[in-house]
Structure 1
Amino acid sequence: MRFSPSLVTSAVFAALAATNFAYADNSQTDAAIERITVQGDLRQQSAGQLAGSLSVVTEQDLQRQSVQHLDQLLNQFANVNFSAGASRGRYVQVRGIGERSEFVDTINPSVGILIDGIDYSGLGISGISDIAQFEVFRGPEATRFGANALAGMLNLTTKGPTDSAEGKASLTVANYDSYQLAGQFSNAITSKWGYSLSLEQQRSDGFIENRFLDRDDTNNIDELTGRLKLAYQPTDTLKLQLVSHFVDQDNGYDAFSLDRDRTTLSDQPGQDKLRSKALALQADYTGLTFARLQGQLSWLDAAADYGFDEDWSYVGLHPDEYSTTDRYLRDREQLTLDYRLVSTDAGRLGESDWVLGIYAASKEFDLTRQFWNWDLWQADSFASALSRSNLALYTELSTPLTEKLTLVSGLRLERYEDEYADSSANRIDNSDTMWGAKLSLNFQPNPQALIYLLASRGYKAGGVNGDALAKAADDSLNELLTKASFAPETLYNAEFGVKGTALDQSLVTRVAAFYMWREDMQVKGWLNPDSGPQFAGFIDNAGSGRNYGVEVESRLQVNPQLALMISASWLKTKLGNYVTIDGDDFSGREQAQAPRFGYNLAADWYLSDALIFNVGLQGKDSYYYSDGHNQRSSRYELLNLRLSYQLQQWQLAVWSRNALDQDVGVRGFYFGNDPRDGYEPHLYEQFAEPRRIGLSASYQF
């Protein structure tokens, strides 16, 4: 599959055709205009009215692919990728930008994750059975989300209270001893009180066979997720909602094999555990004459236990073997406040609609690492504590220039302060003032069409390289003293987009072309001085980077029985001046986790009123696994199938994900770890799920 400027031109013309078709039908009522509201936007507009590249999916879209976890959903989005290195896909990249792992050092994410407005960035996501809407923002979104949205943001909204009793129970069973049991219920208690409750339990053996232990569950999935919402409306102008989340994840981690397949030899399999609880108080007050007050105060507490068998083998494999483990115990507590005023005046010509907000956060990160110290030749531990405070002010103006032309401008100023301390007697204070902005010119020829030009600036915070500092005392690693900390990264984005929706919803097309400049881009570096098992990891600042490409999303209702969906992306990336600490020059090379193209083709075929056949084909080009070596993933195609039958309140489905049984790499390392071949360097990969076959049943009332 090849992309070229002709594809861009064709896609833009298709979107313009949709706008013309919508305009031609404008004599009809507006009852059919797309009504899906973007929950993450400051003004909560529809996706077709919002300048910027954005994808929105609902519960029905999740059912189409029998999705059970976020990493099974992300492949359908243009220019979105992810990596694992854990029991689940946890690290997300948008347009080739994003982290791939987190070990010793605490990293400000390039792509954040919000669930009901609560910041889960870096923690990953468990249950998604109660998701009402999922939004993928691409490109810098600093004005809205701040430092966690350098490259984009994932925003999830779960189901909430209803005016009457509603509920759903579902059960899914699949190969690899997998099952998922989920239930949701919502109701009104009185005319002022309402609630919703959701629970989900998911289990699986985890697609790995450990030959040494003769077990098939060392990489297992065992996750319990619960969410509760309690809504209260004391007056006509005030709405309050209390949100509560609970996650109990007890997963195994045994994913890498010396034989570079799905069979492992570990005698001490790892773990990927998480216990988290969160509360949020949301408020919406409409009693002011000039503005609406919206805000949220949230708290989250999380404890993670992540570890692995470093040698991926057992004692007695080879005379030159080693046998060690690495374990990371993390505690995180955060308190976040985000309140804003949104003007309620209708935007008359020349008069701006405005938003004015304040954001404050306090986050505590505590780490205890238990590892084998090769210099001391004994078990050792390392502890660190990072205290970070953020304070930001942000504003956005939407000024009509003509009846069809609007200028939107936004600005955010953010200050962060870090206090770092560790068991190696390092004490470092970091602080910086960062700013983000956006400016878009929006031309809306009719309510269903938008053509925009967008310029935006995003940022992410710097930090401390605690791992480098801890190892700098070794004479052979004294060059790490120059990597004590790393600077913030800045991203500039220029974008042109066209969005068009036919009034009868038969055609929806969105196209975005972008060019991004990265300054002081943060890249992961490693030093391996003796070619043994000891590595020193650190974050480095490369000089610059370039990322540019195109994203296309279309939906066509061919007839009442057939709907077609397509999303496609083309991406070019380049590292700036980047020479590793080992002297390897990667200047000008493509960036990691940045496939040149990706696509998702899907069809919904209504065989009858009750019988639906869904088919989807997803593909992605190969890409580099790291900015520090030249090993690449394999290109792949995934075929997903689903046949469902609706019988009144019941739905039954048989499905298959990855029906062609492709081996898809989701994390790759390049080094020597096998004593049987003298520790010859190899590409070691973690693979996503193989062919899955399952049955699902749900009852909705």
Structure 2
Amino acid sequence: MRFIPSLITLTMAIPVVATAEQINLDAASLERIEVQGDFRRHSVQQLSGSIAVLTDDDVKRTSAQHLDDLLHQFANVNYTSGASRGRYLQVRGVGERSEYSDTINPSVGVLIDGIDYSGMGISAIHDIAQIEVFRGPEATRFGANALAGMLNLTTKGPSIAPEGKFSATLANYDSYQLAGLFSNAINDSLGFSLALEQQTSDGFIENGYLNRNDTNNIDEFTARFKLRYQVNQHLMLQLVTHLVDQDNGFDAFSLDNNRTTLSDEPGQDIIRSKALALQAEYTGAEYFTAFGQISWLDANSDYGFDEDWAYAGIHPDEYISTDRYLRDREQLSVDYRLVSTPEGKLGNSDWVFGIYAANKQFDLTRIVFHKNRQFDNELIRRNLAAYAELTTPLNPGWSVITGLRAERYDDDYADTSGNQIQNHDTMWGAKLSLNYQVNQQALIYLLASRGYKVGGVNGEALSKAKDNDLAALQTKASFAPETLYNAEFGVKGSALDQSVVARVAAFYMWRDDMQVKGWLNPNSGPEFSGFIDNAGSGRNYGIEMENRIQVNSHLAVFISASWLKTKLGNYTTIAGDDFTGREQAQAPRFQYSVAADWYITEPLTFNISLQGKDEFFYSDGHSARSSRYELVNLRLSYQLEQWNLALWSRNALDKDIGVRGFYFGNDPRDGYEAHTYEQFAEPRRIGVSASYQF
């Protein structure tokens, strides 16, 4: 690891060699990427914490059409599928991998325009203006959904003059994408933006039994609308509306562990969601600026699959089953905060104070065909939180940031097995950051933070314990909240002309009452009972870096990399397997991304990226691993006035990349011998895109 101290030294040295005259240059020479998700807008180079930002240019570089296509670019970020799209995120090795009968609280949340989409999966990114990845606990800012981090997405909004972009893409696997974005001002105080997108694909699976190639298809429509109203000099209102209509198939797992399935009843991954948010900003008070948001989301999903992965008649010892989850989710949340103005400082400290409240209801109907069994449950969760943050300058260049959030949650749970359980707890999160702003181009920080996420009820385990009289499952009725402590040291630096930008962070995280996924196989067959358990503790530590180098006017290079070491604390599964001291799931030891933009001529650009990831365990409850992989993306684009034409390839080397894995027996042809079964990401993609922008 000799490169680590060398890199830190280089990063610190970049701006230090500048002359005093250069240091006093206007701030316009600084990198202009501002983080939208923090309490105040800051340049990513001047904000303590490990934060990665992707803009529209980064989306184009890899010809990304979905968030899945972008996540490989982030250091220490991973994801799990188990559905038609990647749905569950992990940061620094922390995060969930599935949600079946029991409602989970994600360790890594997702916000789109301030609306909580955590655990739902995301469709369109065509109108995304910026994607921010907060790595490490962000409880003060985001609460219980940011135990390990947060993805904050901001879409493009209204403009003061007519602006638009229309694009079309054709690709292999009978894929196409149509997208449009238009924004304008109706008058001096009212403006709007509208974004529409349709994606369609046959998917990447051949169903050998049905002789079809579209059982894992993609069919997604997304609409987003913003209306911004400047009421007067001091008050701005914005209405945000989202609509998602996803009608995807789900037929991803094969008994032969390849892309050819034998299912006679392929599954589905359907989501219908609509969301509204009303945002307000008031600047008329002398001592503070007031921000507020009320948001509502209603989502219905139908997720199911052929549980036996085969057809009737494949073997005399077969079983035939489908598993289906009908889930309704409705949430209402309010978030109000006051942010100090220069006149409103406490002494010489800037401050933030806010309150947050949410009411969420989750209704589930699970239908298991071979048992002719239906299981219903309902969870109502109420959250109430107060938070505050102080930024205190100490002397020239030095400052301290202190943040605190206290949150109460109350759960009411009921199901068809007669279980009625109430859970509640009061949790708290905090941050303490010591910052040294060497000059406008360099920041050194030392950060300590505490994150949390709520506990819950193992309703499926309780119901099966009653059905099968299993005392072991009866002990897993509930699981406790988890706490994560993080210590972090970081350095950020950039050259005055922005030819070099570098960020590096080293961290050590301690997980207490770590939540892990447990499984019990009561009848030694293909049916499993899942539940969430608490391991004693966990350790996660490592380093992550991001660099941009403008070699010359024709060549720019982008490098991100991470190294991660994780360990489970005292953890023995309900089946008696001891995994104490083993690496945690979804935690590859290294990841990297190297990309280059080569401007061959003024209109002609060639983009290439190489991304790699080490192998990792798929679960904390078994030892199945993914394979290490390298991913190559290519793009050749031509700019002709307002037109852009591109020929591209993703996963150009056609690698099989595992995005979900299980270890159990599901094949009657070999006596249900246990195997590692994997779901694979997209194979080689080749396509052409055309866009018109004005």
1:500-511 equivalences under 5 Å are: 500-511=493-504
Q: Give the residue type in structure 1 aligned to 2:92.
A: R
Q: 1:366 and 2:349 equivalent?
A: no
In structure 1, how many angstroms separate the alpha carbons of the residues matched to 2:449 and 2:489? 12
The residue aligned with 1:188 is: 185
Residue 591 of structure 1, aligned match among 556, 579, 584: 584
* Mapped partners of 2:25, 2:350: distance in 1: 28
- Structure 1 residues 22, 545: closer, same or farther in 2, change over 3 A? farther
Question: Quick check: 1:493 aligned with 2:494?
Answer: no
Cα contact 1:22–1:501 (8 A) shared by 2: no
The structure 2 residue matched to 1:9, chosen from 5, 10, 17, is: 5
1:314-353 matches, within 5 Å, as: 314-345=311-342, 351-353=348-350
1-side partners of 2:681 and 2:372: how far apart? 33
**Structure 1 residue aligned with 2:404:** 411
What amino acid maps onto 2:220 in structure 1? Answer: E
Q: Secondary structure at the match of 1:542?
A: strand
Distance 1:208 1:526 in 2: 28
Q: Which residues in structure 2 correspond to 1:598-609 (within 5 Å)?
A: 598-609=591-602
Amino acid at match of 1:319: P
1:166 correspondence with 2:159 = no
Q: Does 1:573 align with 2:570?
A: no
Give the letter aligned to residue 659 of structure 2. Answer: V
Deviation at 1:329, TM superposition (A): 0.2
User: Which residue is 1:442 aligned to?
Assistant: 435
Indicate whether 1:235 and 2:232 are aligned: yes
Pick one of 50, 60, 67 that aligns with 2:57: 60
Distance 2:173 2:576 in 1: 45
Match of 1:623 in 2: 616
SS at match of 1:579: coil
Matching of residue 650 in structure 1 with residue 677 in structure 2: no
Pair 1:472-2:468 in alignment: no
Q: How does 1:9-408 map to 2 (within 5 A)?
A: 9-21=5-17, 25-345=22-342, 351-372=348-369, 378-408=371-401
User: What is aligned with 1:693?
Assistant: 686
SS of equivalent residue, structure 2 residue 473 = helix
Distance 1:380 1:444 in 2: 62
State the secondary structure of the residue aligned to 1:48: helix
TM-score (norm 2): 0.99
Query: What is the DSSP-based 3-state SS (H/G/I as helix, E as strand, rest coil) of the residue aligned with 2:395?
Result: coil
1:17 shift after superposition: 2.1
In structure 1, give the amino acid aligned to 2:631: L
2:287–2:343: 8 Å Cα contact kept in structure 1?
no
TM-score of the aligned structures, taking structure 1 as reference length: 0.98
In 2: Cα distance, 1:371 partner to 1:110 partner: 28
What is the rounded CA distance, in whole Å, between the counterparts of 2:507 and 2:415 in structure 1? 42
Equivalent position of 2:448 in the other structure: 455
Residue deviations 1:197-232, cap 9 Å, x none? 000000111100001000000000000000000010
1:141 offset after TM fit, Å?
0.1
Superposed, 1:533-544 pairs within 5 Å as: 533-544=526-537
User: Structure 1 stretches of 5 or more lacking a match?
Assistant: none
**How far is 1:148 from its partner?**
0.1
Q: Residues 302-336 of structure 1, C-alpha deviation per residue, up to 9 Å, x if partnerless?
A: 00000000000000111111110000000000001
**Cα separation, 2, equivalents of 1:246 and 1:22:** 50
How far off is 1:37 after superposition? 1.4
- Partner residue, 1:677: 670
Distance 1:349 1:292 in 2: 15
Q: Is residue 611 of structure 1 aligned with residue 604 of structure 2?
A: yes
Name the CA distance, whole Å, in 1 between partners of 2:162 and 2:18.
38
Contact 1:347 / 1:399 at 8 angstroms: preserved in 2?
A: no
Offset at residue 8 of structure 1 (A): 1.5
- Give, in whole Å, the separation in 1 of the partners of 2:266 and 2:439: 59
> Is contact 1:231-1:239 (8 Å) kept?
yes
Shift of 1:23: 6.2
TM-aligned CA distance change 1:213 to 1:333, over 3 Å: same
Between the aligned partners of 1:476 and 1:80, the Cα distance in structure 2 is 41
- Partners of 2:471 and 2:273 lie apart in 1 by 38
Moved more, 410-419 or 11-20: 11-20
Amino-acid identity (%): 71
Asked if the contact 1:578–1:586 (Cα under 8 Å) also holds between the matched residues in 2, the reply is yes
Contact kept? 2:49, 2:447, Cα under 8 Å: yes
What amino acid maps onto 1:180 in structure 2? Q
After TM superposition, give the deviation of residue 499 of structure 1 in Å.
0.2
Could you report, residue by residue, the CA deviation over 1:478-514 in whole angstroms, capped at 9, with x for unpaired residues? 2101000000000000000000011211110000000
Which runs of structure 1 show a deviation greater than 3 angstroms over 4 or more consecutive aligned residues?
Answer: 21-25, 346-350
SS of the residue corresponding to residue 227 of structure 1 reads strand
Whether the aligned pair in 1 keeps the contact of 2:15 and 2:496 (CA below 8 Å) is no
Report the CA distance between 1:475 and its aligned residue.
Answer: 4.2
The Cα of 1:437 is off from its aligned counterpart by 0.1
Of 474-483 and 149-158, more deviation after overlay is shown by: 474-483
Secondary structure in 2 aligned to 1:180? strand
Q: Partners in 1 of 2:637 and 2:467 — Cα distance?
A: 62
Distance 1:349 1:415 in 2: 27
1:110, distance to aligned residue in structure 2 (A): 0.1
- Preserved CA contact (<8 Å) 1:346 1:353: no
DSSP-derived class of the 1:12 partner: helix
Q: In structure 1, how many angstroms separate the alpha carbons of the residues matched to 2:142 and 2:152?
A: 10
Measured in 2, the distance between the counterparts of 1:247 and 1:475 equals 40
Q: Is the 8 A contact 1:94 1:139 kept in 2?
A: yes
Measure how far apart 1:29 and its partner are. Answer: 2.9
Deviation at 1:382, TM superposition (A): 0.3
Cα deviation for residue 7 of structure 1 reads 2.2
Quote the RMSD (CA, aligned, Å): 1.1
Residue 519 of structure 1 corresponds to which residue in structure 2?
512
Q: Distance in 2 between matches of 1:349 and 1:116?
A: 31
2: CA distance, partners of 1:350 / 1:12: 35
Instruction: State the aligned residue count.
Output: 693
- Alpha-carbon shift at residue 291 of structure 1 (Å): 0.4
Which letter does structure 1 place at the counterpart of 2:554? Q
Q: Deviations over 1:634-659 (max 9, x none)?
A: 00000000000000000000000000
Instruction: State the shift of 1:476 in Å.
Output: 5.3
What is the deviation of 1:531?
1.7
Provide the secondary structure at the position in 2 that maps to 1:543: strand
Name the SS of the counterpart of 1:690 in structure 2: coil
CA-CA distance at 1:353 after TM superposition? 0.2
2:58 partner letter: D
Structure 1 residues 698 and 475: CA distance shift in structure 2, 3 A: closer
What is the CA–CA distance in structure 2 between the aligned matches of 1:66 and 1:17, rounded to whole Å? Answer: 35
CA distance in 1, matches of 2:57, 2:5: 31
CA distance in structure 1 between the partners assigned to 2:281 and 2:32 by the alignment: 21
State the 1:530 CA deviation.
2.1
Q: Secondary structure at the match of 1:297?
A: strand
> CA shift at 1:14, angstroms?
2.1
Is the Cα contact below 8 Å between 1:22 and 1:449 reproduced in 2? no
Give the Cα separation in 2 of the matches to 1:250 and 1:475.
Answer: 36
Once the 2 structures are TM-superposed, how far is the Cα of residue 32 of structure 1 from its aligned partner?
Answer: 1.1
Q: CA contact under 8 A between 1:254 and 1:269: conserved in structure 2?
A: yes
Equivalents in 2 of 1:434, 1:631: separation in Å?
Answer: 34
How far apart are the structure 1 equivalents of 2:248 and 2:18?
A: 49
